[in-house]
Structure 1
Amino acid sequence: MTLELLPRERRVLGPGAVHVPDWLDVARQRELVEACRGWASEGPGIRAATLPNGGRMTVRMVCLGWHWIPYRYSRTRDDQDGSPAIPFPGWLGDLGRAAVRDAYGDPLLAYEPDVAIVNHYADDARMGLHRDVEEKAPDPVVSLSLGAPCVFRFGNTESRGRPWTDVELRSGDLIVFGGESRRAYHGVPGLLPHTAADLADIGLGRGRLNITLRVSGLG
């Protein structure tokens, strides 16, 4: 892990959108990597979702609580073997609550996520600008970064065009976006240069993991 001469500062990306660098310590990152590895191997395993136009996403994903299929949720893995979605663990909800409270500086905020999407980015993977609109609840999205650094592009709520803000995300970083920014377009144009040694401390062999927590509002 690279040591910083000067600590990176938290940054407000928009109304209700906050970047908190180095929120996860190395030990917690290792634990999350191991958890992701277990989820990815459970049942039919991790997969690259197929879009309605027939294209396949370059990011591979596994879902907890509810299974995401472009562009809907299901309790079962309908695009795989039809098995139930992996249960959403209570300890992950606790982590999400801590993230929201730290990002917004309010120790009393309530947050009850019931969905997690774990994305794995290989070196050539990317995520186009999109909005998280399948959820019926207005609660914030919590995004945790593990592994390789990337560019995170945070846009506006009206279109995929400018204005947007590009942020370098590193392993352990936290993004929370809610309020007026809850439906903002966002994406990952690509990973940044890194080596295997950069990932060794957290036990990740290659690429980047992103864990996003949401409140579905689906009952």
Structure 2
Amino acid sequence: MRPNVHTLVFLYSGHHDRNGFKVGMNEYVSLQHINRKIQECTHIKIVIAFMDCCQPERIRVNEEQRLIQLSATVSTDSAISLRNEGSPFTKLLVQAFTMKASGGTCALPNCECRIDGPFITIDSLSHYLEIHRQNGLLRDMEPEKSLIKITWQNECLAYNYSYKVAFRFDIVLPQPFTSKRHRFEVLATTVNDFDALIQKILFPRFAGRRRCTVDLI
């Protein structure tokens, strides 16, 4: 890790039990290992952690480090992940940090939630999570904060970007389709991987179901 990096963001969304965090079929990483690696990074001054798992434990930092940890549930409860939908807690976190910039809408029907101001603070994010917990989006999970050396009301987590985040493409289709250059904009929230971008978004947009080669410029 670069010595000029002073903030570490750690996010885990998955299975967790007494063996640790599951990272493979039969492979686990213990929290003790993660704690040790974080504490060894003496140039890291603040750790921001999001723990989306069952029985989340609190990260241990060294005496010089500060900690902001938001967990999907308390340490004695289970987190919920829905088949084919993923984790509601992680989805809500992504929504909180990106919806304003990406032009997206809330997962709750008819919800016009937003985080105002130039920054996302611990207070505004906690309030955002609580609103959606009360409305049932978190499926009865009760997120928990763990803070060390933090003034939680005003501590900034991120910029609250208000401009749209999108990818813009100039696309040329080969003959006999057209020689005209097309411009197309894709919101960042619609892109999962490069192959899906080509096959499911750009190709149908300009070529329909016909076979052709699409050159991205």
Q: TM-score, normalised by structure 2?
A: 0.26
Looking at secondary structure, tell me which structure has more helix per residue: 2
Q: Which has the larger radius of gyration?
A: 2
Bigger relative contact order, structure 1 or 2 (CA pairs below 8 A, ≥6 apart) = 1
